[in-house]
Amino acid sequence: MNPIHKTNEWFIENGYTDPMEMIDHSGNLELADAFLNIFVAYNQHNIAEGKVWDTWPEWELCLTSMKDDLHSVDKENDSPELLAEREHWLAVMQFMHDSDTISIEQYTITIKGNFGNTFSFDFALAHQGWGAPGTFAEHKKILDADGLKPKAWMWAPRQYESKSQIGHSLGPFWVCPDHVPIHGGESTIHTSDVTFCIDGMNENYPSNLLSLIQLCIDDRHIWSMQFGSDVYEQVRIEWWEEHWPFGRPEDFNCQYSKEEFSSIKDGWKREANNRIEQGGNQNEEE
């Protein structure tokens, strides 16, 4: 299914609301709810008929930080990769619109998992990612201020410090929920704070976003992932405390070759996997 284009006149002629009237063109279209509404406006007919969303917005995406190549449909010149990414955008927007487990308020997307846990993150289109809930509004102010500087293009883009962070309802020092296979009811010495760090799996942002949402709804594998990450972090910290208890020395790069340190990190992974297989609950007496 290749995304198609319909003019505003088509909507009016077929009894639908002109998309121009549904979209606040002078507002902030980077907000998750406003961004979703652009796609809603151009897929009214599909919503009414219960069909797959297939209509790409006419021009409004030019008002957002979506990649320039995706803004407008060009059937003759669009690459297969662009067509696929547009399809993924339509798919994730429809999923967010149709799901009763998802709520959206400005930048923040909140998801109720199948087992009652809640996950939330901020929609960060400008960074092709997501971040800790409640953080992107302030970061966007910084980006906007930077854009007003003389020769703004010369300035390095500001890093989003909370990028890839996902909030969850269990809070810090969490215990793996009982419903999680293998690790249910277990905890680690080193536990995550009120957020997880989950990176995108590939360069296709909408595909990553949909995968993340589905991972949160599943409410099982996400905990196994974080449990394993915490065990690895525990092993890493133990190594540093044993070998460099007073901190990383200035000449650290002279202490090990790249191959040696790579081998050390492989050892961390092996030890973490060993602990996970044993239940992930190895204490200091062991």
Query: Is the pLDDT score of 285 beyond 60?
Result: no
Q: Give the other-Cβ count within 10 Å of 21's Cβ.
A: 10
pLDDT at 1: 64
SS3 of 40, please? helix
Give 58's DSSP letter: S
SS3 of 45, please? helix
Highest mean pLDDT among 27-31, 73-77, 150-154: 27-31
pLDDT-wise least confident of 120-129, 188-197, 206-215: 188-197
Go through 124-139 and write b for each residue having 16 or more CB atoms within 10 A of its CB, e for each that does not: bbbbbbbbbbebbeeb
Go through 153-186 and write b for each residue having 16 or more CB atoms within 10 A of its CB, e for each that does not: eeeeeeebebbbbbbbeeeeebebbeebeebeeb
Q: pLDDT by residue (tens digit) across 24-55?
A: 999 999 999 999 999 999 999 999 999 999 99
Shortest CA distance to 139 belongs to which of 150, 149, 125, 120? 125
pLDDT at 173: 84
CB-based contact 213:257 (threshold 8 Å): no
Q: pLDDT by residue (tens digit) across 79-137?
A: 999 999 999 999 999 999 999 999 999 999 999 999 999 999 999 999 999 999 999 99
What mean pLDDT is predicted for residues 47-76?
93
What mean pLDDT is predicted for residues 256-267?
94
Shortest CA distance to 84 belongs to which of 195, 202, 232, 198? 202
DSSP output for 128-189: TEEESTT-HHHHHHHHHHHHTSTTGGGSPPPP-TTBTEEEETT-SS----TTSTTTTT---S
CB-based contact 29:44 (threshold 8 Å): no
